[in-house]
Amino acid sequence: MVKEKEKGNLVRAEIERLIAVGDLKGLLYKAAELHGHLCGHMAYGVKAGYIAMRELCLKSQGMEEVIAIIETNNCFSDGVQMVTGCSFGNNALIYRDFGKTAVTVAKRDGTAIRMALNPVFEDRRKDKYPEAYKLFDKIVAKREKPTPEEHERLMQLFAELSIAELEEPADEMFITKRLKIVVPEYAPMFDSVRCSICDENVMKSRAVAENGQYFCFPCYNQGYYQMDGSGISYEEEKIDQDEGISGGANADEE
């Protein structure tokens, strides 16, 4: 009789099959469902995730038994997430704001592999795909409005180069190290409390307690950390959650 654990994760059956047969192109298209388009750095994330899962003999159940520590919030991270099954939502994805195209994938016992995109390899891409990089610079980097034909051409070139890059040798693409790391404890469970102003539930660890009441950061006009395209930053400006909420517990009285 097959044990329950040996049956694998049914919701990831197709991804696990693609990993098992080495279908990197299939994994690339699965990652594109999350990312929204095909591109080179997403392909590198797919390949890094694939190699790590194979080398460490891992299968993800989405229960923090596989941990991925990413060092960038660029396209690379989406390839890693899809292949490893590690995400912010299942607490198996850790983000370190280092600005490096790199990931460490680990077992819970700390056995890990870190893969960083080789800068020598990366620098050669502009010469190999001049048209794609020229359009990227115009449309993405400089935010100049493209013609419909230019946008379509960029998407075509991105798709072609992402598939082609999967075939590049891994030892040229990545700087790879085998490691033994300290894996973070399983994610703690936090109680929820009710904000005394907006009446919404908020994790107790994120609430401001004052005079026996709890307040969420927006209602209390509390600063907060935000991750966006620039990385992690601390924001101090006030947030109006609703037209009827113009301040919070420490707002100036009119």
Q: What would the pLDDT profile of 181-201 be if each residue is shown by its tens digit? A: 999 999 999 999 999 999 999
Q: What is the pLDDT of residue 1?
A: 42
Residue 156, H or E segment: helix 148-165
pLDDT of residue 13: 96
Q: What is the pTM of this model?
A: 0.88
Cβ partners under 8 Å of residue 163, min gap 6: 25, 28, 38, 43
Kindly state the average pLDDT of the residues 59-83: 96
Host H or E run for residue 226: strand 224-228
Lookup result for tokens 């909420």? 245
Per-residue pLDDT at 238 = 62
pLDDT at 165 exceeding the cut of 80: yes
Q: Which helix (H) or strand (E) holds 215?
A: strand 213-215
Question: Are 133 and 125 contacting, i.e. CB atoms less than 8 angstroms apart?
Answer: yes
Residue 65, CA distances (Å) to 68, 90, 93, 193 in order: 10, 10, 11, 29
Going by C-alpha positions, the residue among 27, 32, 28 that lies closest to residue 12 is 27
Please give the average per-residue pLDDT across 139-163, as a whole number.
Answer: 97
Specify the pLDDT at position 7.
57
CA angle, residues 60, 22, 83, in degrees to nearest 5: 35
248, pLDDT greater than 60: no
Q: 7-180 domain in CATH 2.60.40.2240?
A: no
Residue 209, CA distances (Å) to 138, 200, 216, 218 in order: 49, 15, 9, 14
Q: What percent of the chain has pLDDT over 70?
A: 90
Q: pLDDT at residue 157 above 50?
A: yes
Q: Given a cut of 70, is residue 242 above it in pLDDT?
A: no
Neighbours of 4 (CB within 10 A): 7
| Per-domain residue ranges of the chain | 7-180, 192-235
